[in-house]
Amino acid sequence: MNLEKIKSEQELQERFEHCSKCLDKKFRGEPGHRAIVVCGGTGCLSSDSQEVVDNFLQLIKDNGLEGKVTANLVGCFGFCSQGPFVKIFPEDTLYTKVKPADVKEIFEKDILNGEVVTRLLFVDPQTKEHVQRQVDINFYRLQNRNYALAGNGEIDPENLDEALGYGAFKGLARALKMSRDEVIQEVIKSGLRGRGGAGFPTGKKWSFVPKTPGPKYMICNGDEGDPGAFMDRSIIEGNPVNLIEGMMIAGYAIGAQDGYFYVRAEYPVAVKRLAKAIEELEEIGLLGDNILGSDFSFRCHIRLGAGAFVCGEETALINSIEGKRGMPRPRPPFPAVKGLWDCPSVVNNVETLACLPLILREGWEKFAAIGTADTKGTKVFALGGKVNNVGLVEVPMGTTLRQLIYDIGGGIPDGKKFKAIQTGGPSGGCLTEKDLDTPIDFGSLVAAGSMMGSGGAIVMDEDNCMVDVAKFYMEFICDESCGKCSPCRIGTKRILDILTKICDGKGTPQDLDNLQELAAVVKNNSLCALGQTAANPIVSTIKAFPEEYQAHVVDHKCPAHVCKNMMEYYIIPEKCIGCGACQRGCPTSCIHPTDIPAKLPNKFVLKIDVANCVKCGNCQAACRFGAVIKR
């Protein structure tokens, strides 16, 4: 890796030309040259992708192919349910679910002999055919992974030369030739809105910072705390240099000389790669004093969050950076006027900053060319729950929920019926089948009863109980409330108490009225957005599934058979063959034979002693004949 100083835009251009040629060689190849990239996101690393790449490196060495074949980790491919991935250039062959034991076969067949290992290719669930190239997989077709996820799954996140060859710092170089106001106007014209949840216009937010002399701070909010969310983590892991450049562009626009990355301590891979990138950029002069020969000086710092959800709120985050307890501050004054250490500050989230290099490098028109009338660009979602294709996706704004769930997500597993999708995390709402053609943009999702949020999207099917879902999110909110204001501290606990009572089969119709009344009080009187949006899952599920709540409080039945106090396991006599599999798996020995003969010789139909059943579900899991059901 070349760590020579880059002191001017001309030197940056020369380095870009050299590094881009190296990338072309890697991706497009020369006769006899092959490149192997392996997913290095946290999910795939936990499934031994580091060992996969190490095995490739050893085989390259053993076969004397150094210089002709390369292997390295890259960022997240997104298709998490199919990882770990191995991709081979220039053929663009994508292997899925690769284990360390598969490496030798891939190397010997594909690298040495040019023969595709068919068994490791993705199998299209509809056509049942093997798909060799990533671009031909339906999961990727509707995506546009060239904005916030630029470079993910392609470049080595720990190789600065690859980032420079990909165009890093060309956006900053252009910004430095513009005035600060011109940069702000460029971002305003692009239509970029904050991707952290509120969707406030980014350039407009910058414009609130006073132009008076004195310290100013740029802050990157990497404290994503929504259950099931991993958008920010993947962006940092996959291309930290792009994120740093975005931070610097924003810092230049507001007149800041210091930037703080606030990242969850639970993201060690992201933190390691970000720290390494900062260190190397300082060494080559792209961070520090008089960057690219200009009068702009900028330094980056990392602060680790302890995992408090409330620290996603910008004033609580600022308190945490200052070493105080993470609790929100009353506003006004807003951080743009009085923020970090009482100085003007701007907080933007990871995805917002990751979009800036492209906007400045390519011009605002490219970013504004896709999306909807009031929401431009793309949005990154962590698609999870009851969907076949779980993973990280980046889609143009305006993509519908139906396209997200069925075209990209591959629909609901096991032929189950779609029930709801929760967008916006604990602050969002549940949308139903009637909302599937809603375009994904800030206004449309709010009008439908939910919100964009930071990008969590949890799909639910007919087996989910929506009262239980509301209870799950309220448990999360109660755990994460900082306790500073009583409407949130007390109100959310009272809501959880009522939901618990309902799920325990002890609810009454009056509880539903109390829930809605408490939801309004908490929303209208809480200090910060955590409390103000805490009741959204409750309000949206009561509105969309009133019959399910009524069943719980009137009939004391859970239609989805999820709430344990209102369900029981039952063995259908006609289906039971008397094999005893359910009996062997029962931890309380509450399954006994009856006097009814079963299909197997000398066996009897079994019955569950409901009084002693702990409802663990082992019996249903053990039965291969569908004889054990919930009722």
Task: Decide the pairing of beta strands 391-396 and 418-423.
Answer: unpaired
The residues that bridge with 371 in the sheet, in sequence order, are 376
| Contacts of 63 by beta carbon, 8 Å cutoff, 6+ apart | 107, 112
Closest CA to 222 of 273, 173, 186: 273
Question: Is residue 216 predicted with pLDDT exceeding 90?
Answer: yes
Domain end residue (candidates: 531, 555, 579): 555
Question: Is residue 493 predicted with pLDDT exceeding 90?
Answer: yes
Q: In what order do the strands lie in the sheet with 86-89?
A: 69-74, 34-39, 86-89, 93-95
Give the Cα separation of 329 and 281 in Å (integer): 34
Average pLDDT over every residue of 287-299:
97
Mark whether 63 and 125 lie in a shared domain.
yes
Q: Is residue 3 a part of any domain in this protein?
A: no
Place of tokens 């009187």: 525
Give the Cα separation of 564 and 555 in Å (integer): 15
ω before 84 within 30° of 0 (cis)? Answer: yes
Question: Is residue 587 predicted with pLDDT exceeding 90?
Answer: yes
Residues 387-428 have pLDDT tens digits of 999 999 999 999 999 999 999 999 999 999 999 999 988 888
The residues that bridge with 66 in the sheet, in sequence order, are 69
Flag the least confident range among 106-120, 268-282, 291-305, 479-493: 479-493
Mark whether 261 and 280 lie in a shared domain.
yes
Phi, psi of 342 (to 5 degrees): 65, 15
Question: Is residue 77 predicted with pLDDT exceeding 80?
Answer: yes
Mark whether 216 and 318 lie in a shared domain.
yes
Residues 97-112 have pLDDT tens digits of 999 999 999 999 999 9
Mark whether 332 and 228 lie in a shared domain.
yes
Local confidence band at 27 (pLDDT 50, 70, 90 cut-offs): confident
Mark whether 357 and 214 lie in a shared domain.
yes
Give the Cα separation of 20 and 25 in Å (integer): 9
Mark whether 505 and 478 lie in a shared domain.
yes
Amino acid identity of residue 266, one-letter, is E
Local confidence band at 190 (pLDDT 50, 70, 90 cut-offs): very high
| Contacts of 472 by beta carbon, 8 Å cutoff, 6+ apart | none
pLDDT score for 225: 83
The secondary element (H helix, E strand) that includes residue 86 is strand 86-89
- Judge whether 473 and 466 are in contact, CB under 8 Å: no
Q: Is residue 373 a part of any domain in this protein?
A: no
Question: Is residue 560 predicted with pLDDT exceeding 90?
Answer: yes
Could you tell me the CATH number of the domain that includes residue 624? 3.30.70.3270
Instruction: Indicate the pTM of the whole model.
Output: 0.93
Place of tokens 């989230």: 349
Give the Cα separation of 567 and 261 in Å (integer): 48
Question: Which tokens is 373 given?
Answer: 């009338």
User: Mean pLDDT in the chain?
Assistant: 94
The secondary element (H helix, E strand) that includes residue 368 is helix 364-368
Classify 201 as helix, strand or coil: strand
ω before 157 within 30° of 0 (cis)? Answer: no
Average pLDDT over every residue of 458-479:
95
Mark whether 340 and 411 lie in a shared domain.
no
Give the Cα separation of 164 and 3 in Å (integer): 12
Classify 534 as helix, strand or coil: coil
Question: Is residue 2 predicted with pLDDT exceeding 80?
Answer: no
Question: Is residue 293 predicted with pLDDT exceeding 90?
Answer: yes
Q: Is residue 58 a part of any domain in this protein?
A: yes
Question: Is residue 31 predicted with pLDDT exceeding 90?
Answer: no
Could you tell me the CATH number of the domain that includes residue 400? 3.10.20.600
Mark whether 410 and 441 lie in a shared domain.
yes
Average pLDDT over every residue of 567-589:
95
| Contacts of 266 by beta carbon, 8 Å cutoff, 6+ apart | 307
Domain end residue (candidates: 528, 555, 582): 555
Residues 495-545 have pLDDT tens digits of 999 999 999 999 999 999 999 999 999 999 999 988 999 899 999 999 999
Number of domains in the chain: 5
Domain end residue (candidates: 349, 368, 387): 368
In terms of residue numbers, what domain contains 505?
Answer: 466-555
% of the chain residues with pLDDT over 90:
89
Q: How far is CA 547 from CA 21, 30, 477, in A?
A: 62, 64, 25
- Across the chain, which distance is largest between two alpha carbons, in Å? 91
Q: Is residue 350 a part of any domain in this protein?
A: yes
Q: Is residue 390 a part of any domain in this protein?
A: yes
**Number of other CB atoms surrounding residue 597 within 10 Å:** 12
Local confidence band at 4 (pLDDT 50, 70, 90 cut-offs): confident
Q: Is residue 563 a part of any domain in this protein?
A: no
Handedness of CA 485, 490, 496, 499 (dihedral sign): negative
Question: Which tokens is 45 given?
Answer: 């690393």
pLDDT score for 510: 96
Could you tell me the CATH number of the domain that includes residue 337? 3.40.50.11540
Residues 346-384 have pLDDT tens digits of 999 999 999 999 999 999 999 999 999 989 999 999 999
Q: Is residue 305 a part of any domain in this protein?
A: yes
Phi, psi of 241 (to 5 degrees): -65, -40
DSSP string, 540-570: HHHHH-HHHHHIIIII---TTS-SGGG--EE
pLDDT score for 6: 94
Could you tell me the CATH number of the domain that includes residue 129? 3.40.30.10
- Judge whether 422 and 474 are in contact, CB under 8 Å: no
Give the Cα separation of 612 and 607 in Å (integer): 12
Q: CA neighbours within 13 Å on the CB side: how many for 486? A: 0
Q: How far is CA 209 from CA 261, 352, 543, 554, in A?
A: 19, 18, 41, 55
Mark whether 322 and 227 lie in a shared domain.
yes
Q: Is residue 14 a part of any domain in this protein?
A: no
Mark whether 209 and 274 lie in a shared domain.
yes
Residues 166-186 have pLDDT tens digits of 999 999 999 999 999 999 999
Mark whether 394 and 363 lie in a shared domain.
no
Closest CA to 184 of 364, 343, 441, 373: 364
Local confidence band at 595 (pLDDT 50, 70, 90 cut-offs): very high
Place of tokens 């019959």: 547
Handedness of CA 549, 528, 232, 133 (dihedral sign): positive
Mark whether 241 and 360 lie in a shared domain.
yes
568: left (phi over 0), alpha (psi -120 to 50) or beta: beta
Classify 513 as helix, strand or coil: helix
pLDDT score for 462: 95
